[in-house]
Amino acid sequence: MRIVFFTSSTNRSGGSRQAFYLAEGLSRRGHEVYFLLREQASLRLLHPEASYWRDLGPKKNWRAALEKVLFPEGKSAREATVVHAFHNAAVKALAWWGLFWRPRGVAVFAHRGVVFRPGNPLPYWSPGIDCFIANSQACAAVLHGIGVSRKRLEVVYNAVPTERVTPGRPAAAVREELGLGPGFVFGCVAGESEVKGVDVLFKAYARAHLPESRLLVLGVEPLRWAPLLTALGIADRVLCVPHANAVADYLQLFNAFILPSRSESMPNTLLEAIRFGLPSICSEVGGVPEVLGESGLLVPPGDTAALGAALERMLKHDAAREAMARAAREQGPLFDEEVRLDAVERIYRKFSRKD
């Protein structure tokens, strides 16, 4: 099968990483994969040597760049040719170009990974797109709510490659590097954006009674948060790590994972925690309740009192915490990348115009 990925994004956000994981996995399975992206896109740094990367060039040439790989032998596509768009501008473009490509034998797909209602519903009504693949039921419900038929909607949960949950260093070495002594560790993998709710987590941690515990937050700058942590009186119990590629090295230190986001769809960080077998406390947002199941506690987004109470419960109730960890270990295989690849291949074949 010839599979062409197309993204207008230039970053390495969760959605972009999921597109990369798909390209890697489908290429490994023997498909003829191409991934077209903008010259300044940092995504290619995840595997610079990959042979599937292609430059889109200037925006006015995007369509021509895609058609070069979609139709290498003339006016019609090869057998079982797929084009799959990620990111808003790419989806909008395919809604138009797909009108011309579908009659030429191309199956056209668009990714949906956000839960907010589209400002412009027209691209989602276009018959130029065969199918929208959403990463949660919550995302699919948003599209169905603006008129997208269930026949054109498929839900495939995000996945996490095994290497993302395989530590590369001993836990003792990482503890020593951080100066992290014994005791219970609450962990969070976030970022500086307000939507990630790190401020909510810090305030909840300060108000809760959590003796002999530490809070380890990845993806945030220590200097930015130092004034707040000092004002809250928790500067000596919180560790901020600005950047960590080897997330699993730190996950092995966590006794519980915290997702304090104000908004999410299907966060990769939660799936990593579940695959690692960690009990979690999460904001009740987007597709989080769908995947959390019995492996954690849900709290209203932005509610410091509720989050603080959940932190106390997680620390103090050993049996409940162990039950959540067992549930996480049982759920983890659902988010293995091979499961996702099987699902995506099935959907591609379902809508393919040639076999």
Confidence of residue 182 (pLDDT cuts 50, 70, 90): confident
Question: Across residues 292-298, what is the average pLDDT?
Answer: 96
Q: Which two tokens stand for residue 196?
A: 């990630």
pLDDT for residue 20 is more than 70: yes
pLDDT given for residue 322 in this prediction: 97
Mean pLDDT score across all residues of the chain: 94
Residue 326: in which H helix or E strand, if any?
A: helix 318-331
| 298 or 119, greater pLDDT | 298
Q: Which of 231, 232, 287 is nearest to 259 (CA)?
A: 287
pLDDT for residue 319 is more than 90: yes
Question: Across residues 61-80, what is the average pLDDT?
Answer: 88
In angstroms, rounded to a whole number, what is the distance separating the alpha carbons of residues 156 and 223?
Answer: 39
pLDDT given for residue 85 in this prediction: 96
Token pair 């291949």 is found at: 345
> Which regions of the chain carry the CATH code 3.40.50.2000?
2-159+336-351, 163-334
Token pair 């979690």 is found at: 280
- The CA dihedral of 175, 177, 180, 186, to the nearest 10 degrees, is -70
- CATH 3.40.50.2000 for domain 2-159+336-351: yes
Contact 114, 14 (CB under 8 A): no
Contact 78, 72 (CB under 8 A): yes
pLDDT for residue 355 is more than 60: no
Please indicate, yes or no, whether the overall pTM of this predicted structure exceeds 0.85.
yes
Question: Across residues 130-147, what is the average pLDDT?
Answer: 95
pLDDT given for residue 11 in this prediction: 83
pLDDT for residue 223 is more than 90: yes
R_g of the chain computed on alpha carbons: 22
Question: Across residues 304-313, what is the average pLDDT?
Answer: 98
Hey, is 143 helix, strand or coil?
helix
- CATH 3.40.640.10 for domain 163-334: no
Residue 216: in which H helix or E strand, if any?
A: strand 213-218
Q: What percent of the chain has pLDDT over 70?
A: 99
Write the pLDDT tens digit of every residue in 88-118: 899 999 999 999 999 999 999 999 988 888 8
- 228 DSSP 8-state letter: H
pLDDT given for residue 130 in this prediction: 97
In angstroms, rounded to a whole number, what is the distance separating the alpha carbons of residues 19 and 46?
Answer: 12
User: With the C-alpha atoms ordered 36, 41, 44, 50, is the resulting torsion angle positive or negative?
Assistant: positive
